[in-house]
Amino acid sequence: MKGRPLIPFAIIALLGVVLMVALSAVGNHMRNIAEEGGEGAQEEVVIDDPIEYGETVVSESCIACHANDLSGTGNAPAINNLEGRLSHEEIVEIVTNGLDGGMPAFGGQLQENEIEAVAEYLLDASQ
Ligand code: HEC
């Protein structure tokens, strides 16, 4: 029986291949998790200049309701006069969670530091 001893080797070789495929699948999976930063996590936005960044966010997300010059339209009040009326924390709270009267919550689409930047910009731009 000359060919027989080859069979265990063939099995071991096959197991080796299966193991390699399995390990590389696990490796890929781990890398995907690492790249995504885990479930639901977003890449943190790096903000150099909060006031400039806040202005960009406001011009993209807020002027539809609060007007180009932030003086308000319809139900949406002016937000160019917040200094002395609302604190930084209050603005962050309103933008994050919204208000019942039609102010949408931005907590799901803007990160905390982006909302901080918006508050900083609005207070800076206050007249
Ligand atoms: C869909 C329209 C809409 C959009 C978009 C919107 N707002 Fe508003 N916002 C409102 C309305 C309406 C109110 C008044 C709600 C109330 O008083 O209950 C309001 C109220 C506010 C207030 C409170 C003002 C005050 O005097 O009490 C702030 C601050 C504010 N918005 C900031 C923002 C910022 C910053 C953005 C963009 C990130 C934004 N809003 C986007 C409609 C909008």
List pLDDT tens digits, range 61-95: 999 999 999 999 999 999 999 999 999 999 999 99
Look at residue 19 in the predicted model and tell me its pLDDT: 86
- The answer to the question of whether 66 is labelled as a binding residue is yes
- The model's pTM is 0.76
88 secondary structure, DSSP code: H
The full set of domain ranges for the chain reads 1-41, 50-124
Residue 101's contacts (CB-CB under 8 Å, 6 or more residues apart) are 75
**Pocket flag, ligand 1, residue 80 (CB < 6 Å):** no
Give the separation between CA 42 and CA 34, rounded to whole angstroms.
12
For ligand 1, atom 7: residue with the closest CA: 103
| 98 CA distance to ligand 1 middle (Å) | 7
Look at residue 126 in the predicted model and tell me its pLDDT: 93
For ligand 1, what atom is nearest to the CA of residue 57? 38
Give the separation between CA 67 and CA 26, rounded to whole angstroms.
51
Domain covering 50-124, topology: Cytochrome Bc1 Complex; Chain D, domain 2 (1.10.760)
| 124 CA distance to ligand 1 middle (Å) | 17
| Residues 93-126 pLDDT 10s | 999 999 999 999 999 999 999 999 999 999 999 9
Taking the C-alpha atoms of 113, 53, 62 and 69 in order, what is their torsion angle to the nearest 10 degrees? 140
Give the separation between CA 114 and CA 44, rounded to whole angstroms.
10
Give the separation between CA 94 and CA 34, rounded to whole angstroms.
33
- The answer to the question of whether 62 is labelled as a binding residue is yes
